Amino acid sequence: MAGDAIAASASSGVFRSLTGSAAGLGRASVTRRCTIAREIEIDAACRVSERLVDDCAALAGDAHCRLDEEIVDGVGTVTRGARTGLSPLPRTRMFGTGACTAPITRDFFLVDRRYVCAVDNTAAMPQPDLSRGAYIIDHSTETMIADRVSRADGGTSTTDRPFALPERGSVPACEAICKTRGPRVNDAAAPAGVTGSRQNDPASFDTFYHACKSDNRCPAGPGETVVTACGCLDDFPEAVVMMQTVRLAGADLACSAASR
């Protein structure tokens, strides 16, 4: 073989996507791919020739195009228009055959890029006819929908029909819950010993809330007694009192490093 070469050319694939809004109809974006390839050849006389084929020069110089993706020797350096912070290390590749072989080190051998270019597609995309929507909005009421459609002969025909929202199903005012309490012995441990041993009565109660069953029955647990039957309970005032008590108790505490 007279020589080896690494080369690539720009892809002919073009991808279109709409980017216009109501204020910018007719604007579209075209995705174009291109490559920057390093061609290296070694002939039968072991002479090395090299050239850089840049198919991205035109897109890079176009003010309407922006770089969306770049892959350098398999390493993604740009993704969705943002730098990834990655870059390939210099590589060494062997070129040639037989007696004419040579290791060649370069920063890159192949760059694959994708550009997104804005194009004016007004001629291919005429302004949409919004007159039908405007007619529906202007002539419809809460109980009647008016419509106007175009006929094949170029004329228009208007229609109207009753309109009503579906009936909303009935829902309960709240999720029925019940309040119960169960006995508990204060057996918590502290550095000074068991907390209950320093109380006059170590017995106390835990409070529980349960969602009521479909038959409006409170599913109290073992040993629990019902404090408040099923219904729309509102214990927010009680919760506020508890939080205020904790806050005021904390305000009365004084921390000191002095020995007493």
* Sign of the alpha-carbon dihedral angle for 74, 75, 80, 81: negative
Query: Are 112 and 207 in the same domain?
Result: no
Residue 79 has pLDDT above 90, yes or no: yes
One-letter amino acid for residue 128 of the chain:
P
Q: Is residue 78 part of a domain?
A: yes
Which pLDDT does position 218 carry in this prediction?
94
Query: Are 181 and 115 in the same domain?
Result: no
What's this model's pTM, rounded to 2 decimal places? 0.40
Which pLDDT does position 9 carry in this prediction?
36
Q: Is residue 36 part of a domain?
A: yes
Q: Alpha-carbon dihedral of residues 207, 211, 217, 223, nearest 10 degrees?
A: -30
Q: Is residue 252 part of a domain?
A: no
pLDDT tens track for 11-46: 334 444 444 433 344 457 889 999 999 998 888 888
Q: What is the largest CA-CA distance in the chain?
A: 106
pLDDT tens track for 218-259: 999 999 999 999 999 888 888 899 899 988 888 877 666 555
C-alpha to C-alpha distance for 88 and 70, rounded to whole angstroms: 12
The residue out of 72, 97, 120 marking a domain boundary is 120
Domain of residue 193, residue span? 177-233
Number of domains in the chain: 2
Q: What is the mean pLDDT of residues 158-186?
A: 88
Q: Is residue 35 part of a domain?
A: yes
Q: Is residue 88 part of a domain?
A: yes
Query: Are 110 and 201 in the same domain?
Result: no
Q: Is residue 128 part of a domain?
A: no
C-alpha to C-alpha distance for 176 and 227, rounded to whole angstroms: 14
